[in-house]
Amino acid sequence: MAPPRPLGAKAANRFNGGGGSVNRFNQPVGHGAVGHNHGTPQGGSHQRAPGAGFVPPTTVPHNVTIGGAPAGGLSVSVPGIGKAGYGGPTALSNPPRTANMTPVFAKANDFIGRGELAEALELLSEYHDKQLSETDRRNLTDLLDRLAGTVIYSRQHILEPAHIVRAGQTLQTIATRYQVPWRLLAKINGVADPNRLPLGSQLKVVRGPFSAIVQLEKRQLVLMLGGRYAGRFPIEIKGSQPTPKSYVVRQKTDASSPWLELDSQFRICGVNSSLAATAPDSQGCAVLSRQDCEDVFDILQISSQVTIRR
């Protein structure tokens, strides 16, 4: 299967679903020690990873996997993992500015070695917005992207048991039960017809809702799921600057250019949206690439919390 671009990770993500869509999320993260190693770039022009990756489009990623071969689903493309491990001199050559990440990476490495990927993701998610050395930040982000790709967006049943389709169920009714948009489940599971699910079939599910953090100074939107990092997307702010505070998604418009409204003065939209080009001074918009906006639209739902920070 061609390496998919991560969903909930940095830039655009294509899924591995029906209708010929391309999947970008989940390749297994290898068990054992993990370290950062850029190596030689391969394929593609965007770095991904649920989440949802998010590195400059000029960087070209390697394909990496977490834990055994996935059953399918979203795939994360990110820089390669070396063999030195995070405890090695190359991985941790720069002393951290605040948090001491050496024991954190060691503990995460132990979790990954035992196949406890959800635990590793939860542990490392606590540090995604802390002050770190540049090397630690790069290592942390790369690993978070890969873990999120496998834990959240692959078809491996890591956070929740597989959902067994029962008589009368549609993807919409199942998604409502788990508080996530049905389109997300369709993309993860490769469902072509959301109204016709084979009785007794197994679906990968995650329990939402997802939330988002808009970081104005870093110019990125970070997705979270129950306290776990779920990917990041680069953004630009057009129009007026939003007031840093907590919002909720109060409206989603599924047009040729989907957008999400937080209040009458601020929205999340794609670069191809008319809102991005014509936002008046009294209104603002967090602008994502077209594919990134589609991904965020399919992950966040009405009432999802969006926190804006400086």
249 and 299 both lie in a single domain: yes
| Residue 21: pLDDT over 70 | no
Q: Is 90 exceeded by the pLDDT of residue 254?
A: no
pLDDT of res. 143: 97
Shared domain check, 256 and 303: yes
Q: Tell me if 111 is assigned to some domain.
A: no
b or e along 269-290 (b: 16 or more beta carbons within 10 Å of the residue's beta carbon)?
A: bbbebebbeebeeebbbbbbbe
Domain region containing 182: 163-203
Is residue 7 predicted with pLDDT exceeding 80?
Answer: no
Out of 188, 203, 218, pick the residue that ends a domain: 203
Q: Does the residue 13 lie in any domain?
A: no
- Looking at 2-6, 7-11, 48-52, which range is the least confident one? 2-6
- Per-residue pLDDT reduced to its tens digit, 158-213: 999 999 999 999 999 999 999 999 999 999 999 999 999 999 999 999 999 999 99
Average of per-residue pLDDT across 123-149: 95
Peptide bond into 194 cis (omega under 30): no
More confident residue, 276 or 78: 276
Tell me, yes or no, whether 240 and 288 share the same domain: yes
Q: Residue 255's pLDDT is what?
A: 72
Cα–Cα distances in angstroms (integers) from residue 243 to residues 158, 254, 269, 304, in the given order: 37, 25, 17, 18
Higher local confidence (pLDDT), 39 or 158: 158
SS3 at position 54:
coil
Give dist(CA 273, CA 256) in Å, integer.
8
**CA nearest to 77, candidates 135, 146, 14, 138:** 146
Is 99 within a domain? no
For residue 171, the domain's CATH number is: 3.10.350
Taking 50 as the threshold, does the pLDDT of residue 44 lie above it? no
Residue 130 covered by a domain: no
Give the separation between CA 261 and CA 18, rounded to whole angstroms: 29
Quick check: is 278 in a domain? yes
**Inside any domain, residue 294:** yes
* CATH number of the domain bearing residue 246: 2.40.440.10
pLDDT tens-digit series, residues 141-156: 999 999 999 999 999 9
Total domains in the chain come to: 2
Q: What is the pLDDT of residue 98?
A: 61
Same domain, 242 and 300: yes
Amino acid making up residue 96: P
DSSP per residue over 137-155, as a string? HHHHHHHHHHHHHHHTTBS
Judgement on whether residues 241 and 193 belong to the same structural domain of the protein = no
Residue 229 buriedness (CB in 10 A; 0-12 / 13-18 / 19+): buried
Report if residue 272 sits inside a domain: yes
Q: Which residue has the higher pLDDT, 264 or 275?
A: 264
